[in-house]
Amino acid sequence: MLVTIHLTLARGLGRSKEIVELAHNSPHHPFITSDHPDPPLPNTAPASVGNPGSQTSEFQSAIQPSSSSTPRPNRRRRLSSSPDNLGPSSAGTGHLPQIARETPSQNYPSRLARPDGRPPSPKRRRLVIMRPDGISTENGFVDASDESRASTSRKTGLNGQAATNGSSQTNGSKTPSVSSTYYGHNREEVTRILIQSLYELGYNGSASLLSSESGYELETSGVATFRSAVLGGRWLEAERILIQSFRNAGSQQVDRKSPQEDTLVLSEEADRNEMLFYLRQQKFLELLEARDLAAALNVLRQELTPLNFDVERLHALSSLLMCPTEVLHAQTGWDGSVSSSRERLLGELSKSISPSVMIPQHRLAILLDHVKQSQINNCFYHNTADPPSLYSDHMCDRNDFPLDVIVVLTQHSDEVWYCEFSHDGSKLVTAGKDHNVLIYNTVDFSVIHRLTEHEDGVAFASWSPDDSKLITCSQDKKARVWSVESGRCLLTINHHRQPVTAAAWAADGESFVTASLDSESQLRHWSMRGQPLYTWKGGFRVQDCAISADGRRLVAADTEAKVHVYNMLTYEEDYCLPVPSKPTSVSISKDSRHVLINLADHDIQLVDMETTAVVRQFKGQKQGEFVIRSTFGGAAENFVVSGSEDSKVYIWHKENGNIVETLDGHISGCVNSISWNPADPGMFASAGDDSAVRIFLAGLEGAIDPVQ
């Protein structure tokens, strides 16, 4: 598909015939020059140009980028009111992003100057072609005067160079004598992004030809040298280029036409000590990787410390000196490959370099992602994991959305407080006030096991990562671990002195955490042998908890309007997030980036776990007196779904916060819990006070009556 895009855009940029013919007939030459970049169209296929002996490596890229009251015995979901109303916190943590791979600078072609005053080409009959926008063109080319009104936004770099985004910085070459825009877009930006994308796709010859014909280079010689130095681990050379670039930025004296040395055009936000810190940090970590501890210590003391940048990070680096290699990889996010870590470093440094000389990595792919995400955001019922096609506009059919109750499960004799599908979608567990836990087969919704050993209402259940075990939490102050295959109780946790409200499995499935209203033991980490591994202190009571899919974080919602986030590796608290009212449930997204917090004041908040920022709020459901649980839903977690005290089910679009549907869920009372089938996006279940569990399915409206 992207090849088609290239050919189509090449026609819009002109000279498509030469590009196609040269791409098929020329050998692989990344550096191609021409004395006449715009000759008349030849009658025969052009001969290969460039140095036949030149060699290039393929440009590659991969996206790397306390209340002390005891709950009522028979109704554990009622909440007590509280005068506290705390504001949000801004605490948070951060880390370097995973940036994509790039290759050394020799893959990028040099810029071709376009001479002025060349003799006009021989006259010939011109065909008038009408563009879709009504502007006539001759022989497929747009007259520059027709679009001269579209001005290009200009920005001055720190080096004193006036530069449009994508403009030339090195040799003073003039832009080609064609229109400066392409259907309203800056022609040079479009062309350079295409050149970058062709290299990333592996079409090096086509990329070189496009650069040669258009006269636009992908990046300047200074950037190419800097790239090569970073990826090659030539730290002194990379530092020299950086320091000289900052000197030029300070002096505002740079000869754009004939620079005396390789320098960079820096962004306005560039910080010298920050960029040097990242370079020297990489050098330090590579020395640790090689176990050259003396040299690493010298870098830490003589090179990193004098920068006085990010002291907290500096302390963290010093703690790595005595770490074994495997711990070093885990703490720094390395995969053990020096080359990939250098590529991530280059990506981080590129944020401080002007895009006019160094296009952000994978720019076309990122733009296409924005296009697809925009279509998803505008599609009310987007319920598929497959991304939209670029060929046409996208819109999902409402009939394919689970809106109809097809099955009603009535095996419980009292309020149903919880339901959850297994990870593979083949089973459904329900639990409630009647002390029973039921496991269903989702093919025909027959009961596989009825677990009856709890002595009071069961408020929560959680599947192990491999779906082989199940934890249930009860008001009888016990948590039990069950074998899903046999229905036998494997382990009973009777440590807590108050009701056990929730539990969460560690990512490896070999341990779990229980949460309780017991303020002296509100959170405890257990092994599968029933041995306590850790007990968190704090003196608060926990209503709900969850562990992220990557195993890094534990989130606990207390009964005093706070959400605590812990590091599961160190057991330390990362931050405590005050919320406007008492949280009743927490749910973490599959990508471990966001946590969904259900609050007692009719509000659901989507919070970024790195920045602690409230990304979006969802309103409309009725809540205030009882525990209501909300969760993510849909094939790609495109939705937020929640029960309500008005017997309805509410579904919102996660990306824009709009209510997609409000469904009549149950006959009376609260809808307490919702679970969306992770293996079948056309199915979700709701559990309510009417003693029923209802199964919603897609595309079966009027087909059959609900099955009891």
CB 694 within 8 A of CB 405: yes
List, in sequence order, every beta strand (DSSP E) within 66-190.
128-130, 136-138, 154-156, 162-164, 181-182, 185-186
* Helix, coil or strand: residue 482: strand
pTM higher than 0.95, yes or no?
A: no
**Which residue do the tokens 């030459």 mark?**
29
- Predicted local confidence at residue 377, as pLDDT: 87
* Helix, coil or strand: residue 573: strand
Domain ranges of the chain: 2-31+127-364
| Dihedral angle of Cα 168, 173, 179, 184, to the nearest 10 degrees | 0
Residue 248 has pLDDT above 80, yes or no: yes
Model confidence at 335, pLDDT cuts 50, 70, 90, reads: low
- Predicted local confidence at residue 262, as pLDDT: 76
- Of 35, 695, 81, 74, nearest to 406 (Cα)? 695
> What are the C-alpha distances in Å from 544 to residues 80, 347, 523, 531, 632?
16, 39, 10, 22, 16
Among 16-30, 241-255, 274-288, whose mean pLDDT is lowest? 16-30
- The pLDDT tens digits for 670-682 are 999 999 999 999 9
- Of 629, 680, 620, 673, nearest to 651 (Cα)? 620
- Of 541, 509, 538, nearest to 526 (Cα)? 509
Model confidence at 456, pLDDT cuts 50, 70, 90, reads: very high
- The pLDDT tens digits for 483-538 are 999 999 999 999 999 999 999 999 999 999 999 999 889 999 999 999 999 999 87
